[in-house]
Structure formats: structure tokens, C-alpha cells
């Protein structure tokens, strides 16, 4: 990721010391941001192709998110964190099937509207080049990540890093397991095992999250090679087998929860699980949502809250929910479990189904 960021910086001549200038630029356009966003969505809705993606009811929510995104783009260092935020927006656009040409048109409109403000306030002029440059960078990142997501989705091999890494490590151990258990060192097997550990370095982070520490495994391997005894063998086995068993348990829980999620989503879509009462209140809707998450992901969720205002931070999943004339935010944190990324995706999918159901019911 860092190599990719450095390339982007070089291509667009981004400087680490331009952060203060970006913050000044943000301060200059801040008084006009609400007006810019009003005009932005007004112009987008004039195009029929955009109308199917943007409902009038959601414009206040979209405006808030768009303003927040612009503020982050102009007030935060251009690093991995900001890159991932931009990429996340691209992935959302991919999943709603918004063609990249529409993304580019949106950036075109936004740039035009910002440029137009300089006619009202000439003091913005010195900062326009910097603002437009970062908008262009953001657009290019979004297009790249959009197509990366598209390639991933269309690939018949959607293996995840955790599976590849854990499977490769275990197979490397299996190759020399028999010689190890006989308390002898097969130099060829040991060489293959150590070579496999080197090849797994690119998965170091994901393996450590799962409890596999390559440096520790390598150290125990060296200890066993120097002194092939039961104690050193047990230490080596524990460094590999124990985390593997933990992964298996969490994988089983994840699979079970995923199947339960699919059943819950079927209930939501066809039986209207969360909106099957004649007279519903926000409290009863929230209670049903809480119950569904507790039944399907109780083992993985550490916090679930229903807030009236969108939180600035503190939650891994935040969903804007609208029911009739009222809105609330579903906020969730997930425990630090193995393969957490995929657990979060399952929870997020279930939350999206709930959000859609509430929205459809409100339209009836």
C-alpha cells in the first residue's frame, strides 16, 4: 500500500508539506460548502441516469457525507488512512453499480462549482489549483479501486489472504512433521519449511492477527534443530497448531453466522421480520434490529447503539436508518476476532438489508 501511495504522490507531485495549504484552502471554501452541495445534487438530479441512485429523501444524508469527505480530503495527511477512505467510497459505488463515468461527471460538477465560487470571492483563487489537484487525485484513486473491486468480483478465485496464508503455513509444517515427531532433523524438510516461512512474510500482518507469529515459529524451529527434544518440539507445535485450532473455531462461527445472516435476510425481504407489525415505533424497530443481530452475531459484536446523530468516530459500522419521518444511526463495534474483516462484512450486509427494508416500508 505504501508503495502505491508513493507512486500517486510522485505522479501528481503531492508534497507532504502542502497540508497547511490545504487546510487554508478548506477554510476559504467552508462558507460556501452548503451552497456548493445544494447545487451539486440539484445538477445531478437533472440527469435521469443519476435519479435512480439518488432519492430526494436521502439528499440531506448524502450532503453530510460528501461534506465530510471533502473536509477529510483537504485537512488530513495523504497517507494510507486517507487512501483507504477514498477507496471505500469507490467500493460503495461499485456495489450500487454506479458506472465510473458517472463518478467522473460528479467530480467534474464539483470542480466547476468550486471554481465558480472564486467569482464571488477572489481570495479563493490562489488555492484553486491545490483543491482541484486533490479532487483529481481522489477521482483517479476511486476509478482504480472501482475496477480492482470489479476484477475481484469477476474472478473465479476469490481466495482471501487469511486462507492462503494459514493453509500455506500448515502445509509447510506437514511436509516436515513426520521427521520432527521422530525427534530428528531432516535438513531438506527443514530448508523447505524455512523457505515457506520466508515466502509467508507478505502475509505477516494477517497471520499475526490470527495468532501466528513467524519470528516465533522460526525461533522455535531453530531451537528444535539445535536440540531435537520433546520440549522444543512441543513449543514449535504450539506456535502453529494452537492458533490453527483457534482459526478453525472462529471460521466455524463465521460460517454459521453467515448462514444465519442469509436466513435472516430472507426473512427480512420476504416475511418483513423487522416491519411486520401494523403499528411500529422507532423503539420497536430498534428492538427487532437488536434481536436479529444478537441472534446471528452475538458472539462477535462488542457494542451496538442507536443514536440520534451520526457519531464522528468510535464505531466500525455506522448505518443511517430512515423510518417514516424519523432517522437514527445504527452503530456497531466488532470484537477483535480472527478473520474480523469478513465478520464485519457479514454484519454490514445484514444492516444494509435492514436499512433497505425500512426504507421500502416508509415509501408504502
pLDDT tens profile 293-313: 888 788 888 889 999 888 888
Are 217 and 304 members of one domain? no
Last residue of a domain, one of 107, 129, 154: 154
Are 223 and 287 members of one domain? no
Radius of gyration, CA atoms only, the chain: 26
- Model confidence at 261: pLDDT above 90: no
- CA dist 26 and 61 (Å) reads 21
Q: Which domain holds residue 212?
A: 161-228
Could you tell me which residue, 195 or 217, shows the higher pLDDT? 217
Last residue of a domain, one of 228, 263, 282: 228
Are 260 and 287 members of one domain? yes
Are 36 and 147 members of one domain? yes
Helix or strand (DSSP H, E) at 143: helix 125-154
Q: Which residues pair with 330 in a beta bridge?
A: 306, 319
Q: What is the mean pLDDT of the chain?
A: 81
The set of residues, in sequence order, having a beta carbon less than 8 Å from that of 111 and lying 6+ positions away, is 132, 135
Side by side, the strands of the sheet bearing 317-323 are 301-307, 326-334, 317-323
Are 33 and 52 members of one domain? yes
- Predicted confidence at residue 278, as pLDDT, reads 60
- Model confidence at 230: pLDDT above 70: yes
Are 88 and 202 members of one domain? no
Q: How many domains does the chain have?
A: 3
In a domain, 197, yes or no: yes
pTM of this structure: 0.49
- Predicted confidence at residue 27, as pLDDT, reads 93
Amino acid at each position: 500500500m505504501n508503495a502505491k501511495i508513493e507512486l500517486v504522490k510522485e505522479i501528481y507531485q503531492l508534497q507532504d508539506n502542502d497540508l497547511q495549504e490545504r487546510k487554508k484552502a478548506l477554510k476559504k471554501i467552508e462558507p460556501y460548502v452548503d451552497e456548493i452541495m445544494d447545487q451539486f445534487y440539484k445538477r445531478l438530479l437533472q440527469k435521469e441516469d443519476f435519479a435512480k441512485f439518488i432519492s430526494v429523501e436521502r439528499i440531506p444524508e448524502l450532503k453530510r457525507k460528501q461534506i465530510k469527505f471533502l473536509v477529510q480530503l483537504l485537512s488530513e495527511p495523504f497517507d494510507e488512512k486517507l487512501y483507504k477512505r477514498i477507496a471505500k467510497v469507490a467500493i460503495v459505488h461499485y456495489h450500487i453499480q454506479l458506472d465510473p463515468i458517472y463518478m467522473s461527471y460528479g467530480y467534474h460538477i464539483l470542480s466547476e462549482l468550486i471554481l465558480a465560487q472564486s467569482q464571488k470571492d477572489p481570495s479563493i483563487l490562489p488555492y484553486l489549483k491545490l483543491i482541484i489537484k486533490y479532487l483529481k487525485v481522489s477521482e483517479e484513486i476511486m476509478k482504480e479501486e472501482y475496477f480492482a473491486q470489479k476484477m475481484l468480483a469477476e474472478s473465479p478465485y476469490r481466495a482471501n489472504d487469511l486462507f492462503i496464508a494459514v493453509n500455506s503455513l500448515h502445509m509447510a509444517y506437514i511436509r516436515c512433521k513426520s521427521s520432527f515427531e521422530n525427534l530428528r532433523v531432516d535438513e531438506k524438510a527443514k530448508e523447505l519449511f524455512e523457505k515457506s516461512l520466508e515466502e509467508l512474510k507478505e502475509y505477516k500482518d494477517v497471520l499475526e492477527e490470527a495468532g501466528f507469529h513467524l519470528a516465533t515459529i522460526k525461533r522455535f524451529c531453530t531451537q528444535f534443530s539445535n536440540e531435537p527434544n520433546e520440549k522444543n518440539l512441543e513449543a514449535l507445535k504450539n506456535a502453529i497448531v494452537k492458533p490453527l485450532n483457534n482459526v478453525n473455531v472462529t471460521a466455524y462461527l463465521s460460517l454459521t453466522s453467515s448462514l444465519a445472516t442469509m436466513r435472516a435476510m430472507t426473512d427480512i425481504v420476504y416475511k418483513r421480520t423487522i416491519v411486520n407489525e401494523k403499528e411500529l415505533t422507532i423503539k420497536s424497530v430498534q428492538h427487532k434490529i437488536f434481536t436479529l443481530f444478537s441472534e446471528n452475531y452475538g458472539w462477535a459484536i462488542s457494542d451496538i447503539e442507536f443514536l440520534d446523530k451520526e457519531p464522528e468516530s468510535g464505531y466500525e459500522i455506522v448505518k443511517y436508518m430512515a423510518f417514516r419521518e424519523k432517522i437514527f444511526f445504527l452503530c456497531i463495534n466488532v470484537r477483535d476476532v480472527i478473520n474480523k474483516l469478513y465478520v464485519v462484512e457479514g454484519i454490514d450486509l445484514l444492516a444494509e438489508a435492514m436499512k433497505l427494508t425500512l426504507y421500502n416500508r416508509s415509501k408504502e
